[in-house]
Amino acid sequence: MSRLSVISTDKANSTTEKLMKEFTQRIIANPPGVCPVDMQLAFLKVCHAQTCGKCVPCRIGLGVLEDLLESVLDNTATMETLDLIEHTAINIKNSADCAIGFESARMVLAGFEGFREDYLSHVREHQCTGTFEQPIPCVTLCPANVDIPGYIALAGEGRCADAVRLIRKDNPFPTACALICEHPCEARCRRTMIDDAINIRGMKHYVMDRAHASEVPVPACAEPTGRRVAVIGGGPAGMTAAYFLQLMGHQAVVFEEKPQLGGMLRYGIPNYRFPRERLQEDLDAILSTGVEVKLNTPVGTEELSEINNTYDAVFIAIGAHAEKRLNLEGEDSRNVISAVEMLREIGDGRYPDFTGQRVLVVGGGNVAMDCARTAIRSKAKTVSIVYRRRKEDMTALPAEVEGAIAEGIELLTLKAPLHIEADEDGNAKALWVQPQIIGPVRGGRPSPRRADKPQERLECDVILMAVGQDIISEPFEKAGIATKRGQLQADASGALNRVGMYAGGDCVTGPATVIKAIAAGKAAAANIDEFLGFHHAISVDVEIPEPLLNDKNPCGRVNLGEKESWARKDNFEGIEHTMSDEEALQEAGRCLRCDRHGCGVLRGGRQDRW
């Protein structure tokens, strides 16, 4: 082969790789709400183009499947067509000679099952159930539907106080989300078609550092309605509901069993991630609306009955504050501490002292990382995280895992806890584990199974169990509220099986994220308002800047920095730096303003009810 032809081949290969990368970026940035049948057809065509064409199932069968999906989109398909799609895909899956044919058919079957209602709508109604309003990806994927392009544009102009006001239209915890939100809004950012997603949480962090929540006045409340609503639980869901109910003119009264408000924001997140004074900024702003609070007031079965008879409506947002156990032999030994218990103590300012001790943390989520990084700050000699899967299978945010490693915390992966060994005084001194081997994918992650290796003994002085949280639902079950596996059973509106009673947040969904709890509280407030016979609108009079007409050339994403590991791992001070004015201006300029271009305008405008 000549040198010229080699160069030509290399250029063709690099061009192909570039085009494939750009195609992948467009798939990643695909907005929610597009027609799933159309999306499946596009994927099927790509897969069909990659087959070698030697076997009939791929060469002929995939083409037949394409024609059948085309007929669904062309409104010429019948119910028999749907049966034929399913049978054809099954036959291809069972007879294809290569993985491409097998996976293509499997993908069609998975989509056919998951999007069945969409297929039926195309056949029966000749229309797609998906929205044609081209939703804005970041707004759609934010559980609280915060106007993200709007506040980024405001931040780009230095109008941070206005940005806070705009965020508060949908989320009264802007500081909390600026520091600890898992930012699902970034997952489908259309900027990824050019380079990388906008640092949305970083922009919010910048806003909240320049316009503290407690310094930006909240909106004026509506005229008092004379209605009183009890909110049981002072966490993010409960306080969000109380905030919006108060703005609507209803008097919200929060019953909190602990000595301070905040729920898991205070009693589940260490200070180095979310300084307590920053939490208080959000709480002070919420309380300035006139929300009444009753601290150190647990609500049991009898209290719930009295509250239900006294108030016009009740919202239950008790969270998930009970520890989950593995029921290991020796789990009741001394120095075996639940993550929930330790973080609860820290929430009230009582920090553990692990000076010179060897600490093991069992778990692989964000709570496990919080426990491990708290232990290293509590003067532990060594800290190791024991997890039964691989590092890449951890549910913790990658940044949290890398942060833990940088602080000297060791990951002991593929090790399943068996039992805890204690000394003669009942103190835990070792954790016995069974090595695992990673196996087939189930539920989206490879599942571990027992490896053909002997058990291992991990010496330790303290074991922190971070394997999940449970809901204390018994008092509510006794009051006649329907539950399932410990979770309160609410319908789509949050209503329970007792008139006037609603629930939301972790006690309904199980342990989830802060922004999902906020969204639940927001929805509950609107539904309770309707139940009480009103239809209040939540509005904001902030004028959003027009989009910049600058060229959207590729530009690197600004990431937030942190203190050096040596400077942060021996104290509980905040570790994350914010953006400079220069960085924020550049990051805001990267936004494609999908609220005005490409995706269509925000539905209903910025001043309507949610």
**DSSP string spanning 170-238?**
T-S-HHHHHHH---GGGTT-GGGGTSS---HHHHHHHHHHHS-GGGSPPPPPPPP-S-EEEEE--SHHH
Supply the pLDDT for residue 608: 47
Supply the pLDDT for residue 609: 47
Q: What is the distance in angstroms between the CA of the first residue and the CA of the last residue of the chain?
A: 65
Bridge partners (DSSP) of residue 441 are 446
Q: Which of 418, 462, 431, 419 is nearest to 330 (CA)?
A: 419
- Exposure pattern of 40-76 as b/e (b: 16+ CB <10 Å)? bbeebeebbeebeeebebbeebbebbeebbebbeeee
Bridge partners (DSSP) of residue 465 are 338, 362
- pLDDT averages per 10-residue partition of the chain, 610 residues: 58 68 67 76 84 81 90 91 92 87 88 86 81 74 95 97 98 97 92 93 98 96 97 98 98 97 96 96 98 97 94 97 92 95 93 97 96 97 97 94 96 97 95 97 90 97 95 93 94 93 96 96 97 94 88 92 94 96 96 79 46
Bridging pattern class, strands 483-484 and 469-470: unpaired
Q: Which of 561, 553, 563, 549 is nearest to 593 (CA)?
A: 549
Supply the pLDDT for residue 29: 67
Burial class (CB in 10 A: 0-12, 13-18, 19+), 521: buried
Supply the pLDDT for residue 20: 65
Helices (H) and strands (E) in the chain, counts: 24, 18
CA 435 – CA 447 distance, rounded (Å): 13
Cα separation values, 153 from 35, 535, 542, Å = 30, 30, 12
Supply the pLDDT for residue 39: 82
pTM of the model: 0.86
Q: Which of 502, 496, 536 is nearest to 521 (CA)?
A: 502
Tokens linked to 289: 């609306």
Q: Which of 448, 453, 423, 445 is nearest to 437 (CA)?
A: 448
Is residue 129 within 8 A of residue 91, CB to CB? The reply is no
Is residue 225 within 8 A of residue 252, CB to CB? The reply is no
Cα separation values, 476 from 217, 405, 499, 527, Å = 37, 42, 14, 21
Is residue 378 within 8 A of residue 461, CB to CB? The reply is no
Cα separation values, 341 from 232, 322, 468, 572, Å = 21, 8, 12, 18
Supply the pLDDT for residue 315: 98
Supply the pLDDT for residue 248: 98
Query: Mapping DSSP to helix (H, G, I), strand (E, B) and coil, where does residue 358 land?
Result: strand
